Amino acid sequence: MRYYGTLGPACQKEEILLAMFLAGITGMRLNLSHGGLDENGYLLEAFQNAAKTMGIAPELLLDLQGPELRVGNMSNSLCLKRGEKVSLVSAEDPVGDGEIPLPSPLFRELREGDALLLDDGRILLKASREGTGWKGTILRGGTLLPHKSVALEGREIPSPALTEQDHANLSLASRWGVTGVMQPFVRKPEDLLELRRALQEAGAGQVRIFAKIESWSGMDRLKELLPFADEIVIARGDLGNSIPLWELPAAQKEIAGICRKAGKPFMVVTQLLASMEQNAVPTRAEVSDIFNAVLDGASSLMVTGETAVGKYPELVSRYLVKTGEEARRFVAEKQGGKW
């Protein structure tokens, strides 16, 4: 069983990473939507130093930008309140105060009445045309930070599997000791074949490929994707944006079942311990979620913002690993050791 945290400001100190490894974390993810490999060198050096001190070789996973769409640069965070209107602009144009810069592929596809889901669906806007521009009416508010995810509810936006920045980061993968690459929004086998070619060209052909299932198209073609991925990732954040949220548990079960039948390892990620970004103790629902993911056959579990920006990265690591290992013990003792 593998347990992954995510690198970020909250765990940038070597002593915190040491504590996470001691708690049982076996690898870390670096989200490249917030800067490239060299830009995050300080995080990677702390990761490497902690691993050296421990005498271990933890995995390092790169989460590429890929076709995932994100809010552009903003000078400040925005506090969005229900019922208010906010200007929507293209990230390619100058951005004023109080405006939300949308990635140009999405901005070009905007239609009257579109529902926009931001920050893994925490914030919901309804788009409307006003004069020559676009406005978003806040239906579900919150604080929006730069570079958070954005999606059109129920619609996919055509975009390339790998960006120029992805290719640049892949060229540095071997230098930084990368062991795995997470490909966002995998839609078809060609997306994974393109990634494999890019890795081979970068001299990193040995790096494992993690295919993130985050859309209907990925789910529909999951069986076709299996031969080209080393591990499937049930990425519940954006997957929960592309389907009604109440259908997400069934989608997770379906993906898990297909992977089990095919003998393909799979990971469960997103909001496993979300409340612990602010709280020192998880909810009962969260530990049950982790437990059930292991019972479903998950080979890996990953936390994201909980360790990257949360207040308690060490405690998050402890609860993640302790709960996962308790689930493994339960399976071994109560179900005859059948996995």
- Per the annotation, the verdict on 70 as an active-site residue is yes
Q: Which of 2, 6, 264, 270 is catalytic?
A: 270
Place of tokens 């936390």: 303
Q: Which of 148, 187, 212, 236 is catalytic?
A: 212
Phi, psi (5° rounding) for residue 17? -65, -40
Q: Which of 2, 70, 236, 264 is catalytic?
A: 70
State how far the Cα of 119 lies from the Cα of 10, in Å rounded to an integer.
19
State how far the Cα of 176 lies from the Cα of 134, in Å rounded to an integer.
42
Phi, psi (5° rounding) for residue 73? -70, 135
- Per the annotation, the verdict on 148 as an active-site residue is no
- Per the annotation, the verdict on 29 as an active-site residue is yes
Nearest 10 degrees: CA dihedral of 322, 325, 12, 310? -50
Three-state DSSP string of 187-199:
CCHHHHHHHHHHH
Question: Is 113 buried (19+), middle (13-18) or exposed (0-12) by CB count in 10 A?
Answer: exposed
End-to-end CA distance of the chain, in Å? Answer: 12
Name the residue among 189, 224, 192, 190 with its Cα closest to residue 208.
192
CA angle 270, 228, 293 (to 5 degrees): 30
Q: Which of 29, 148, 187, 264 is catalytic?
A: 29
- Which residues belong to the active site? 29, 70, 212, 270
